[in-house]
Structure 1
Amino acid sequence: MSLLVILLLFLAGFATGAINAVAGGGTFISFGALSLIGVPPISANATSSIAGLPGYFTSTLPYLKDIRTIWRGILVLAVVSILGSLLGALILLWLNDAQFSAAVPWLLLGATGLFAAGPWLKPKPREAAERTERRGLAAPLIQFVTSIYGGFFGAGMGIMMLATLGLTESGDYHRLNAIKNVLANVIALVAIVVFVSGGVVNWAGALAMIPGVALGGYCGVWIAKRVAQIAVRIFVIAVGLFLAGYYFVTG
């Protein structure tokens, strides 16, 4: 891996961390950068998950106080998230690159659409507070399906999870976001263990990106004060559509 490629991956990691901090959707950047330098799609997906791990942890830190009060209530969701993520990651490893490449443009289009609809999918605090918890089978079943997607691909997972939690959990937006962040960590960690065990991680690419992701996440607050979130969202959507087109042509 040349110094130029390492620099480009570092910058892609920085953009990933910063975009995740400002608006979400940074996975498009890390996955796209790895794809465009020739990393096979399955490896690019797995490596992108590794590179994004610091962001999953840091996004949870502001909610530690809330998490201490809710963790017992989300144990069932955490368990089904483990099972779903394990299944999704194993399905990915069962595929070959040609099969996954055929699915990638459709996954990217779906994730881009989900990201574009994100502002409308967020539950409104008043509506969330008025909901009663519909625990039953609905909550774990919906979370199981979401975690399969998260283990398999992951782009747009946070937005999808926030929307589905709004259907089954009570509380305001911040409570739902705290639950989402906990479950996102669970899903990511399980998928990463499977990917590492399967030997599909491009470690050189991951190591080049991780410092950039960490730095970008740290600078995200500064960027958020100076760049309109709508501009970041438009950029992420454009990248998602570009990558979908790229895979439609080359896949």
Structure 2
Amino acid sequence: MPILDAVLLFLAGFLSGAVNAVAGGGTFITFGAMTLAGLPPIVANATSSVTQFPGYITSTLAYWHDIKHFWRGALLLSLISALGALSGALILLGLDNPSFRALVPWLLLAATALFAAGPWLKPAPKPEHEAAVGSLVGSLAQFATAVYGGFFGAGMGVMMLATLGLTQSGDYHRLNALKNMLAVVIAAVAILVFVSGGVIAWLQAIIMIPGGALGGYAGVWIARRVPQNAVCGFVIAVGLFLAFYYFDKG
């Protein structure tokens, strides 16, 4: 692999981890980088789950002060997330690359629209000290989000933050911490399915993983200091570019 490609993949991993920690959408970056590098769409999508996993872990650890207050209550949502991710990943492996490629631009447009609408989808959080988890509506919403996350993942963080804001309590950082914790579960289950299916590009993943881990930790710092509008605008631009790129290739 050319050195320039390796550098670009590492930077894509870093940016992905950072924007995931802020509000999600990092899959746009990793999926796009590997697509432009010539990987088949299913492989690029599956490998994106691997590259983002360290970023989910590091950003979750950075929010540990918040998570330790509610992690026991979040176990039900974690189980629901695992079941949803398993379903979504198995659906993906049931498709061939041409079939998935035909869906990709529409998935990207939908994910970009969801990402752009994120600020309006999330209501003002309730100020209770601990996030309430386990309601029927919240459980169903989380299952649907996890299915999507296991299948594609782009925009999953925004979707999850929006549904958590509608169904759970807590301030923004508490909801973001819960989102990151559940994202770890979803990614872990999807990765196990993708590894068993042999659809991971390990060389590209190994190059991007260190960048994703660093970006995930740095992203929490960014989330507390940088306006979300700047990050969201960048992610939306990447999503639209990729959608039109796939429409053009189709």
- Using the size of structure 1 for normalisation, the TM-score is 0.88
Q: CA deviation at 1:224?
A: 7.0
Is 1:62 the equivalent of 2:57? no
- 1:93 aligned partner: 93
RMSD value, Cα: 2.5
**Aligned-partner residue type, residue 52 of structure 1:** Q
CA distance in 2 between counterparts of 1:225 and 1:133 reads 23
Matched residue SS, 1:117: helix
- 1:174 aligned partner: 173
| Pair 42,171 (structure 1): closer, same or farther in 2 beyond 3 Å | same
Q: Which moved more, 1:227-236 or 1:69-78?
A: 227-236
- Where in structure 2 are the equivalents of 1:149-228 lying within 5 Å? 149-220=148-219
Q: Is the 8 A contact 2:21 2:180 kept in 1?
A: no
Q: Which moved more, 1:133-142 or 1:166-175?
A: 133-142
Q: Is the 8 A contact 1:66 1:178 kept in 2?
A: yes
- 1:7 aligned partner: 7
Q: CA deviation at 1:183?
A: 1.1
Structure of larger gyration radius: 1
Q: Which moved more, 1:89-98 or 1:134-143?
A: 134-143
Q: CA deviation at 1:246?
A: 0.9
- 2:74 aligned partner: 74
Is 1:232 the equivalent of 2:226? no
CA distance in 2 between counterparts of 1:166 and 1:226 reads 21
- 1:38 aligned partner: 38
Q: CA deviation at 1:45?
A: 0.5
**Aligned-partner residue type, residue 200 of structure 1:** V
CA distance in 1 between counterparts of 2:169 and 2:63 reads 17
CA distance in 2 between counterparts of 1:221 and 1:65 reads 13
**Aligned-partner residue type, residue 246 of structure 2:** Y
CA distance in 2 between counterparts of 1:63 and 1:18 reads 14
- Where in structure 2 are the equivalents of 1:76-155 lying within 5 Å? 76-125=76-125, 127=126, 129=128, 135-155=134-154
Q: Is the 8 A contact 1:122 1:162 kept in 2?
A: yes
Unaligned segments of structure 2, at least 5 residues = none
Give the number of aligned pairs.
Answer: 249
Q: Which moved more, 1:97-106 or 1:9-18?
A: 9-18
CA distance in 1 between counterparts of 2:222 and 2:106 reads 31
**Aligned-partner residue type, residue 116 of structure 1:** A
Q: CA deviation at 1:144?
A: 1.0
Matched residue SS, 1:30: helix
